[in-house]
């Protein structure tokens, strides 16, 4: 299978909308975009692009800006417009890391380390530019696939291809219902000790 990689340019907002059936999050995106444009907070070009991203209710939305915008502002606007929040947090972390490591100079039209991008299972029909790179990885890009993907290595470097910034949630865990407890307490108790079950259950 061929995957097509599009790196966000300074005059683009690239949203990854992971909605449910009926595209309910896409509707929320539309309302927030309308508010941003109507209030003059966001100056956009007339042409934008919408593509299905492979799963029902999931979309890639590309909004072209009239003027380039700093990465900080673009990533905040993407999250405001209901792009996937985990993607947004990773974009910010990659950008911060590129600055802290002194890699904030531009390479071509995008930042070193390609902090923000979208990967599509098909080329975007009618899009105004070509993909930046493609790959022939056998499946969707999870952490394992990223670590050996030549496109990921080319855009983000060997070490950055398989980054995980926030830790993985254990499988099968449910969100606990916590009893409110004020004041000082043990982080270990709250976060991960065997005693946390008692706290979770309000004991």
- The domain in which residue 188 lies consists of 172-203
Same domain, 29 and 86: yes
Q: For residue 202, is it left (φ>0), alpha (ψ between -120 and 50) or beta?
A: left
Q: Does 3 score more than 70 pLDDT?
A: yes
How does residue 189 score in pLDDT terms, banded at 50, 70 and 90?
A: low
Strand partners, 15: 61
Q: Does 58 score more than 50 pLDDT?
A: yes
How does residue 176 score in pLDDT terms, banded at 50, 70 and 90?
A: low
Same domain, 95 and 18: yes
Q: What's the pLDDT at 76?
A: 97
Distances (CA, A) of 121 to 60, 115, 131, 151, 179: 11, 20, 12, 14, 44
Work out the number of other CB atoms within 10 angstroms of the CB of residue 113.
20
- Could you tell me how many residues make up the chain? 203
Work out the number of other CB atoms within 10 angstroms of the CB of residue 195.
13
State the virtual CA torsion across 77, 106, 112, 96 in degrees, nearest 10: -50
Q: Are 13 and 35 in contact, with CB atoms under 8 Å apart?
A: no
107-122 pLDDT, tens per residue?
A: 444 555 788 999 999 9
Same domain, 182 and 111: no
Residue range 169-185: average pLDDT? 67
Residue range 112-139: average pLDDT? 92
Q: What's the pLDDT at 194?
A: 52
Same domain, 91 and 118: yes
- Give the global pTM: 0.82
Alpha helices per DSSP H over 69-109: 71-80, 85-100
Residue range 55-78: average pLDDT? 92
Q: Does 72 score more than 80 pLDDT?
A: yes
Same domain, 196 and 99: no
Nearest-5° angle of CA 72, CA 140, CA 91?
Answer: 10
Closest to 8 measured CA to CA, from 107, 113, 129, 116: 116
How many structural domains are present in the chain?
Answer: 2
Q: What is the DSSP letter of 178?
A: P
Q: Does 26 score more than 90 pLDDT?
A: no
Same domain, 120 and 184: no
């Amino acid at each position: 299978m061929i995957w097509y990689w599009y790196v966000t340019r300074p005059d683009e907002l690239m949203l990854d909308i992971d909605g449910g059936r009926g595209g309910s999050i896409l509707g929320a995106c539309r309302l927030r975009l309308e508010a941003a444009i109507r209030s003059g907070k966001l100056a956009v070009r007339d042409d934008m692009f919408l593509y299905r991203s492979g799963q029902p209710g999931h979309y890639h939305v590309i909004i072209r800006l009239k003027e380039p915008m700093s990465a900080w502002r673009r990533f905040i606007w993407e999250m405001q417009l209901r792009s996937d929040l985990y993607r947004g947090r990773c974009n910010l972390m990659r950008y911060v890391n590129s600055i802290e490591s002194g890699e904030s100079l531009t390479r071509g039209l995008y930042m070193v380390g390609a902090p923000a991008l979208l990967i599509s299972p098909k080329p975007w029909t009618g899009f105004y530019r070509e993909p930046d790179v493609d790959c022939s990885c056998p499946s969707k890009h999870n952490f394992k696939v990223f670590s050996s993907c030549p496109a990921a290595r080319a855009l983000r470097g060997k070490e950055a291809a398989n980054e995980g910034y926030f830790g993985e949630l254990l499988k099968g865990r449910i969100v606990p219902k916590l009893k409110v407890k004020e004041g000082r307490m043990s982080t270990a108790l709250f976060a991960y000790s065997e005693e946390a079950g008692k706290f979770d259950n309000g004991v």
